[in-house]
Structure 1
Amino acid sequence: MKTKFTLLFFVFSFFSFAQTARVKGIVLDENNQPVENANVSFQDNKTTTNANGFYLLNIPAKVKSNLKFSHVSLKAAVVTLELKPNEDYEFNIVLKSNVEQIGEVVITNNRNKRVEGVTTISPKTVRLIPGANAGVENILKTLPGVNFNNELSTQYAVRGGNYDENLVYVNEIEVYRPFLIRSGQQEGLSFTNTDLVQNIDFSAGGFQAKYGDKLSSVLDITYRRPVKFGASLEASFLGGSLAVETASNNQKWTTITGVRYRDNSLLVNSQQTETNFRPRFADVQSYITFTPNTKWQFSFLGNISQNKYDYRPLSRQTNFGTISEPIALLVLYEGQEKDRYTTFFGAFKSIFTVNDNFNLKFIGSAYHTTEQEYFDILAQYRLGEVDSNLGSETFGNVNFSQAIGSQLSHARNDLDALIVNAEVKGSHKKDDNQIEWGIKYTREDIRDRMREWEVIDSAGFSLNPPIINIPINEQPYNPYVGPLVPYSNLRAVNYATIDRISGYAQWNKRLRWGNNDIFTNIGVRAHQWQVSGDNIDGKSQTTFSPRAQFAIKPDWEKDMLFRISGGLYHQPPFYRELRDAQGKVRPNVKAQQSVHIVLGNDYSFKMWERPFKLVSEIYYKSLTDVNPYTLDNVRIRYEADNNAKAYAQGLDVRLNGEFVPGTESWLSFGYLKTEENIENKGYIARPTDQRLKFGILFQDYIPNIPACKMYLNLVYNTGLPGGSPSYADPYDYQMRLRDYRRADAGFSYVFTDRARAKEEGSWLKKFKELSLGLEIFNLFNNQNAITNTWVRDVYTKSQYGVPNYLTTRVFSLKLNMKL
């Protein structure tokens, strides 16, 4: 067996196939929980499911095979399969407690997701694929329609939206992120702990009414319930994680707890600013379940996290400009920054099964964050011409300074937020109909203090802010007699409370039209909210959001499915959207509104006798009551005014399948155009207008040494707008940042796993999985820029956009272990 691999696009593999096939999948019980130690057999070939209900069995190809599933506490099931040579077929089944099953009893996990336009991602893929900020978001960024330009951030933009427009659920509980973070370096860990994950679903738009009030996307994650003791460990130069899972003998109690620690020093020290810098992040997360009987199930999800960001910059040199006119920015720093973000999250969930067709869910959660952002940093800079003469003794040095100046930045920002939720949800089934509904109350209590100012001078002359009623400073040509004031000065104290009531109802129907399969979903959401507080008196506002999905699977020889979905989507303002550029809360900001339509096609087919899927979607969004914003790194500053309209349109395509047998890889392409019209001044690009996107996620192994594996994560995004100072009119600055190009690679050797179990007496027998790998971040050492630093020259009245570069090439070792 030989495999040839290219880094750019495809891998073509040619193999000699035996006349056998593999069937694999998950055995579940009626509560959709994995069944351990279930027997799976065909004639003399037998296996048992593991702790996650997973099995893998070789069976003959080109013949009908009667596959039997059995368990001591459940009724048996027999199915008939006929597979092609070397076919790797996924077959998931639910064993019932009172009915034996004979015939086709396939439970296709992805069937409902397919008609809903939801992408399902394997948790194992998330854990294996390398990235500077590895995790679920690292994989999302390889999907079409998902854009980003900062490997140190877990935030992402979807189809023209911003970072605040994405819903994230864990076990149906909405989760939040800190408020004050302004840089990807400060973010630390994603809420989602990949060691605890069972399912990952993602929708880039046109999602159902049961999902909340955001404009762009939904990430829906389910944590798993263990069935016996287990432990896993991961360690690298960037930190580590430990997860422990337990289950009682009667399976009524289960716990899974994960602890993570991360230190980004290895990455940030590769940047151009020399610093004494140690950003440290840690969290502990636990999921506990209790199932006293078949009617009730109780669970608790808790998380405590702390981000410590200590930053003492020393110096910086950034070369930019052109070949004919090379320029360098040299900066000497004094001062430091100390930021802290501490969050506590707890959620209680109870499921009451009234009968087989009716269940109720009760969910209560609380999120508390205390954040501080303190810094005093003096930056003394000079902007000069670089000696580009190759024969010169001073080649590469700055020989002539054309601008000098300094900038003093100060902040004492504190925020304390408490968010409490209470929710009731129900689900009713009858025949092919399903009705789902829910009602939720949310209270957000925010205490916010801003003390932030900046003083700038150029060539020894203080610069005044670009606002009215301040005399123009024409130094050095004319004396300045006006007041000396900071270039920017933000001072605000806000005590705000937001009360929300939201709810939804939706109807699902699956039917047959001739020989064609039809799926419909119709629903509506409602949301009422009011902002109040000290010197804040907002009016009550209400929105209604009807949504619908329609899918048809024609009775064709080709396995195709067509979808259309969309509706009216609203995003009632969160606290950050209510606070304007001066820190003042405007309580009557309206919900942003979007009419969204998505047309999609799924085509499943065989290539090289292996399964592949081509998913394509075109979409259009028409947005009104838009709240304009500026984007600086990952900090969003809103105008807190609904004075714009916008649109987003594009095409997303993804081809995924087994380019190499037994592994999943994919290619993604996305085209996006999004523009906004602020106060009827004309359409300009929105801050997230990232026109083209290419992504490749690829897995491979050495044919003669299958334990040696390779993982590749490639992303190319065209440059974002955002080359303007935060105070400036965006209509005057429409330049773009450079294109974002990123390649992360991982190489590992698997000592043992489920496919390579060791014999008795081997020291590896005690491990379920053990591997050691090398990760290379930014494989091609591309210089990616996240923002521009604006440097002013008082003599020439010029401003220079100096790129702030991200991380360079970095190497790391990684150890994975599972007991």
Structure 2
Amino acid sequence: MSFLSFCQSAVVRGVILDEFNNPISEVNIKANTGEGASSNENGFYELRIPSDIEVTVVFTHLGHKRVEVKFNLKNGQETEFNPVLKVDVEQISEVVISTNTRQSVDGVTSISPEIIRKIKGAQPGVENILKTLPGVNISNELSTQYSVRGGNFDENLVYVNEIEVYRPFLIRSGNQEGLSFVNTDMVQNVDFSAGGFQSRFGDKLSSVLDITYRSPINTQIRTDLSLLGGSLTGETISKNGKFSGIASVRYRDNSLILNNLETEGNVEPVFADAQTYLTYKFTDKFHLNFLGNISVNQYNFEPQNRQTNFGTLQEPVALLVFYDGMEQTEYQTYFGAFKANYYANDDLTLKLIGSAYHALEQEYFDIFAQYRLGEVNTNIGDEDLGEVEFSEGIGSQLTHARNDLDAFFVNLEHRGDYNVDEETNVEWSVKYTHEDIRDRLVEWEVIDSAGFSIRPPNFSTPNLQPYEPFSGPLTAFQNIRALNRTQINRVQAFAQLSKKTTWGDNEVFYNIGARLHNWTVSGQGITSNTQTVISPRAQFTIKPNWEKDMLFRVAGGLYYQPPLYRELRDSSGIVQPNVKAQKSFHIVLGNEYSFEMWERPFKLVTEAYYKGMTDVNPYTLENVRIRYRARNNAEAYAYGLDMRLNGEFVPGTESWFSFGYLKTEENIDGRGYIPRPTDQRLKFGVLFQDYVPNMPDLKMYLNLVYNTGVPGGSPSYADPYDYQIRLRDYRRADLGISYVIVDSEKEYQARWKKAFKDLSIGFEIYNMFNNQNSITNTWVRDVYSKRQFAIPNFLTPRVFNVRLSARF
């Protein structure tokens, strides 16, 4: 049987067994879209279903309990599902495991939407699951940003229904981040590629997150409530099937988490959004879709005091900080997109996509901080136990910002998809983008340490005290003022060929393509500059005709990242229009081994990769804010190994274990190689699901992440060649336990239960072991020794949450 097919449908196949592993013949298999099949004498079946919609498939046989499963498959996707029909016991209707051959060929990891909806976290969403994958590093549980194989947050592509979405520009702290753009309650498919992706995806250096929202096939309402907020999602379809729509509103309040941080004060972190995806089928050949999103994120913070204890048991040290002032930040985004699909025939699909993105962002704060650094009373029994009794350092800091950004992006794109034959597919696209950014940056910082005003690190006037009096001016430690009005016009295009063939008895797939990207930077006071890059890419996959189910893949090419506005702005806030596209040569070698263990299916995925980068734009990373030098004055490399074992460690559930090794270094101005800010050497991730055997409605999940520390423990103004201090290792464990009261497989006599299709209640423990992870360091000067102490800024502690989920 061919392992790849290019068609406007998908295939589900497998073997149906009873409890004793005997094949069952004459099983009736019926899809709610009308398709049907039955199993043969060997229990084998094959069912072709429509793609790009949610399809419910029911397996029934006389004397056995029915199994109902929902599939969300893409064009040409082939999935293996092997149900076990039981007689008298409770049937676990979860998909055993999906062997998704199309994704395997493309080097894509597919994640079940149900897993994303069930596995929550301090910042729930797709990103909470991504952090358990190899090669993906997230060291701030309140952030939706992630780095992949040594790249930074700006190097990741995110698509929703083939429409590119953007992240905010000014956000500097994970505390300020709101909800992820991706609404998990609306998701149909989640595909993720960590490198070596095809030309049909855009110009970034690291990864692609490809999301598909579902088109409803019935009417239902889903709600999720917790102590941190809630969501309400509704979907419907008209009687004639021409109109369908799904809409969702979400509300998030992180006060429960942020009020447990070391910095005490009044905090109001309120985030809300509304999102919809609508489809109208004018004819069988012409469909019009609309994707809309409105998001408002407000973060108001009035800090009061903070105490951080660090040092050793023999020499404990504490930092006490007293604050005055407040921070007011607000991020509003408005996004709308129309997508028209014209199905000319079974082989040709033409698409026209138009979208607009508008971001209004502001950061206003005036915060005055006075600190004491001193020795801690460790005498057990004293009334002042834990108090600072002797000051070693005193000082103050005043920070001020009035930052406003108004960004408006418009996109217009034509895409095409043509099946030359059952084994050959051609895709192409032409896209125009206009970006208009208006940015006012006013930010300064004054530091007083031990009674002396600290000058900026690059201050040119020498201080020869006490031998000569210092006559230079008092200067703020940081003083950034800029007013930028910048326009960027882009023309992008790609074409690619995908073909399936044979090589002897082996099946072979290859994909070749190229992208073109032309952009012009202009604006007030800016000398216009135009650049063009061409990015060739290729993939080759072979499935040997072996007894063992093996697949080998090699992918690579030249990947460019033309600069966005943030990459054009240097550390002083000035736009540098001559910044080049960062360039990276990728090579990825992959292997997938599917096998059975404990009579259940498993898969081991291994990938080795290398990236050689030139024209690198160096940057510093402060929490989640990236500050670029806006100069292509570095070269870099990254290499590593990613491994992931997933399968049914517990029958009826999917779990996985991940391991990643990474080394990435950069050479700035020819001074030699040093670790990059994302050099996270080792990564371990575990997502484990289980249930009580005699009570399958009582379920649990365990989400474990361990990352070694990254560089970033040095002051932001420091020369990275002088400071190579790493942050502490990141360790986190989240636990969730839930009880399913109602699900679709049960029949209930109680009247109130009949109103629900699904109903569950549970609780969650975030950071179960209360690990003190840090994201940055605060640097404080000792008045006596003149040395600086690195005081860690800790992330979220242990937090308990209660959750109620329902579907009507």
User: Same-fold call, TM > 0.5?
Assistant: yes
In the other structure, the counterpart of 2:798 is 809
Contact 1:22 1:89 in 2 (8 A): no
Distance in 1 (CA, whole Å) between partners of 2:529 and 2:410 is 21
What is the correspondence of 1:666-677 to structure 2 with a 5 Å cutoff? 666-677=656-667
In the other structure, the counterpart of 2:54 is 52
Distance in 1 (CA, whole Å) between partners of 2:68 and 2:188 is 25
Q: Which runs of 5+ in 1 are unaligned?
A: 1-15, 29-33, 70-78, 93-106
Determine whether 1:441 maps to 2:450. Answer: no
Distance in 1 (CA, whole Å) between partners of 2:287 and 2:364 is 45
Distance in 1 (CA, whole Å) between partners of 2:417 and 2:425 is 7
In structure 2, relative to structure 1, the CA distance for the partners of 1:506 and 1:745 (3 Å cut) is same
In the other structure, the counterpart of 2:292 is 302
What is the correspondence of 1:290-439 to structure 2 with a 5 Å cutoff? 290-390=280-380, 392-431=382-421, 432-439=423-430
In the other structure, the counterpart of 2:6 is none
Q: Normalised by the size of structure 1, how large is the TM-score?
A: 0.89
Distance in 1 (CA, whole Å) between partners of 2:232 and 2:208 is 28
In structure 2, relative to structure 1, the CA distance for the partners of 1:558 and 1:180 (3 Å cut) is same
Determine whether 1:652 maps to 2:642. Answer: yes
One-letter amino acid of the counterpart of residue 465, structure 1: P
The Cα offsets for residues 195-239 of structure 1, whole Å up to 9 and x where unpaired, read as 100000000000000000000000000000002211000000000
One-letter amino acid of the counterpart of residue 126, structure 2: V
In the other structure, the counterpart of 2:723 is 733
- The alpha-carbon deviation at position 354 of structure 1 amounts to 1.2
Distance in 2 (CA, whole Å) between partners of 1:242 and 1:90 is 24
What is the correspondence of 1:488-567 to structure 2 with a 5 Å cutoff? 488-567=478-557
In the other structure, the counterpart of 1:472 is 463
Contact 2:59 2:68 in 1 (8 A): no
Contact 1:20 1:85 in 2 (8 A): no
Contact 1:415 1:448 in 2 (8 A): yes
In structure 2, relative to structure 1, the CA distance for the partners of 1:280 and 1:182 (3 Å cut) is same
Determine whether 1:194 maps to 2:194. Answer: no
SS at match of 1:138: helix
What is the correspondence of 1:627-638 to structure 2 with a 5 Å cutoff? 627-638=617-628
1:266 to 256, 261, 266: 256
In the other structure, the counterpart of 1:455 is 446
Contact 2:333 2:360 in 1 (8 A): yes
- The alpha-carbon deviation at position 809 of structure 1 amounts to 0.5
In the other structure, the counterpart of 2:213 is 223
SS at match of 2:139: coil
In structure 2, relative to structure 1, the CA distance for the partners of 1:474 and 1:706 (3 Å cut) is farther
In the other structure, the counterpart of 1:96 is none
In structure 2, relative to structure 1, the CA distance for the partners of 1:80 and 1:259 (3 Å cut) is closer
- The alpha-carbon deviation at position 111 of structure 1 amounts to 1.3
The Cα offsets for residues 539-572 of structure 1, whole Å up to 9 and x where unpaired, read as 2100010000000000000000000001000000
SS at match of 1:468: coil
The Cα offsets for residues 475-502 of structure 1, whole Å up to 9 and x where unpaired, read as 8x98643211111100000000000001
In structure 2, relative to structure 1, the CA distance for the partners of 1:578 and 1:519 (3 Å cut) is same
One-letter amino acid of the counterpart of residue 402, structure 2: R
What is the correspondence of 1:756-767 to structure 2 with a 5 Å cutoff? 757-767=746-756
- The alpha-carbon deviation at position 718 of structure 1 amounts to 0.4
SS at match of 1:208: coil
- The alpha-carbon deviation at position 410 of structure 1 amounts to 0.2
2:601 to 605, 611, 635: 611
- The alpha-carbon deviation at position 83 of structure 1 amounts to 7.8
In structure 2, relative to structure 1, the CA distance for the partners of 1:449 and 1:83 (3 Å cut) is closer
In the other structure, the counterpart of 1:147 is 137
Q: Normalised by the size of structure 2, how large is the TM-score?
A: 0.91
Contact 2:376 2:388 in 1 (8 A): yes
In the other structure, the counterpart of 1:99 is none
One-letter amino acid of the counterpart of residue 639, structure 2: Q
The RMSD of aligned alpha carbons is 2.9
- The alpha-carbon deviation at position 464 of structure 1 amounts to 1.1
Q: Judge which range, 537-546 or 688-697, deviates more.
A: 537-546
In the other structure, the counterpart of 1:278 is 268
One-letter amino acid of the counterpart of residue 791, structure 1: V
Distance in 2 (CA, whole Å) between partners of 1:538 and 1:628 is 23
Contact 2:94 2:652 in 1 (8 A): no
The Cα offsets for residues 154-189 of structure 1, whole Å up to 9 and x where unpaired, read as 100000000000000000000011110000000110
Distance in 1 (CA, whole Å) between partners of 2:761 and 2:68 is 37
Q: Which runs of 5+ in 2 are unaligned?
A: 1-17, 70-78
In the other structure, the counterpart of 1:799 is 788
In structure 2, relative to structure 1, the CA distance for the partners of 1:683 and 1:21 (3 Å cut) is farther
Distance in 2 (CA, whole Å) between partners of 1:522 and 1:330 is 59
Contact 1:672 1:689 in 2 (8 A): yes
- The alpha-carbon deviation at position 42 of structure 1 amounts to 6.5
1:699 to 672, 675, 689: 689
Contact 2:58 2:68 in 1 (8 A): no
Contact 2:400 2:443 in 1 (8 A): yes
Q: Judge which range, 723-732 or 142-151, deviates more.
A: 723-732
Determine whether 1:138 maps to 2:138. Answer: no
Question: What fraction of aligned residue pairs are identical, expressed as a percent?
Answer: 61
Contact 1:707 1:749 in 2 (8 A): yes
Distance in 1 (CA, whole Å) between partners of 2:248 and 2:464 is 58
One-letter amino acid of the counterpart of residue 228, structure 1: N
